Structure 1
């Protein structure tokens, strides 16, 4: 819990009193590598902060899964569209490696919004971060080649290349694993 407190103190200047309210609502959950955090069709009940691990978002498919997002430690994570609407999720959320999440339920987050001075700022920041990641990915898919997407990924998020299986990276940049192999050969 100290990691999330340090993050909030650094980024939000949270008061001791607000932290006490916030901390009293946090639930720590651990997920082993390759475990499902949220299945397609379930409703997202949590906004989480990743203390340790990597999360993958994907659309399950009979032929192959379509990976469309990764989130790393020290970041907020949620199937946010499902969380906001409290309706079933259209994709799956998975822990790629052993993962520790500090989680707030939807109802507890509403309490924090209403009883703390900093709650709305933290909620807004989490929302903005999730939106910016989504927007950047969409624009990349529309404006860049697969090779440029891979190179950007490699320069912006080198941890991805080390932590995530290449088949997930290929899906994320919109190519087959074979095409990714050819891209990697060209640029090496």
Structure 2
């Protein structure tokens, strides 16, 4: 749980009393590799902090899934749009490795926002970070070649290559696995 406090304190330091209130709402949950933690059509009920593991966001398709995001240790994970609107998710969230999460329910999160001095500030800054990641991905898909997206992905997130199957990386950068194979041959 110390990693969560360190992460939050980097955003905006929390007083001991606010931290105790917030941390009392957290629940430790373990998932095995390849576990779907949010299914298509279900409503997101938690904000989670990844203590250990790798997570994938994807839209299940008949031919092959469309992967659009990865998250790693010391990052927050949620189907944020579903959490905010309390409407069914249009995508799934899956563990790619054995994973440990610290979860807080949406109800408890709202209470933290109301009863702590800087809960709203921390929430806003995390939302801004998620927006920037989403915006950068969209711009990358519109402005860069597949090869540039692949190279940028590994310069920004080198841990990807170790834990994520190439078929998911191909989907994430918007190419087929065969095209990714050709890109990898060209740049090595």
Report the TM range for the smaller structure's normalisation.
over 0.9
Question: Could you tell me whether the CA contact under 8 Å between 2:57 and 2:93 is conserved in 1?
Answer: yes
Residues 157-187 of structure 1: per-residue CA shift (max 9 Å, x gap): 1100111100000000000000000000000
Cα distance in 2, alignment partners of residues 158 and 119 from structure 1:
31
Residue 48 of structure 1 deviates from its aligned partner by: 1.0
**TM-align CA RMSD:** 0.8
User: Match for residue 87 of structure 1?
Assistant: 87
Aligned-partner SS, 1:64: coil
Aligned-partner SS, 1:22: helix
Name stretches of at least 5 consecutive residues in structure 2 with no aligned partner.
none
The runs of at least 4 consecutive aligned structure 1 residues that moved more than 3 Å come to none
User: Match for residue 149 of structure 2?
Assistant: 149
User: Match for residue 2 of structure 1?
Assistant: 2
Moved more, 122-131 or 74-83: 122-131
Cα distance in 1, alignment partners of residues 66 and 145 from structure 2:
18
Cα distance in 1, alignment partners of residues 126 and 44 from structure 2:
15
User: Match for residue 13 of structure 2?
Assistant: 13
Name stretches of at least 5 consecutive residues in structure 1 with no aligned partner.
none
Moved more, 72-81 or 124-133: 124-133
User: Match for residue 120 of structure 1?
Assistant: 120
Normalised TM-score (structure 2): 0.98
Cα distance in 2, alignment partners of residues 113 and 157 from structure 1:
31
Moved more, 2-11 or 150-159: 2-11
Residue 104 of structure 1 deviates from its aligned partner by: 1.1
Moved more, 13-22 or 119-128: 119-128
Residues 8-28 of structure 1: per-residue CA shift (max 9 Å, x gap): 233321100000110111111
User: Match for residue 105 of structure 1?
Assistant: 105
- The size of the alignment, in residue pairs, is 188
Residue 84 of structure 1 deviates from its aligned partner by: 0.2
Cα distance in 2, alignment partners of residues 170 and 135 from structure 1:
19
User: Match for residue 140 of structure 2?
Assistant: 140
Aligned-partner SS, 2:24: helix
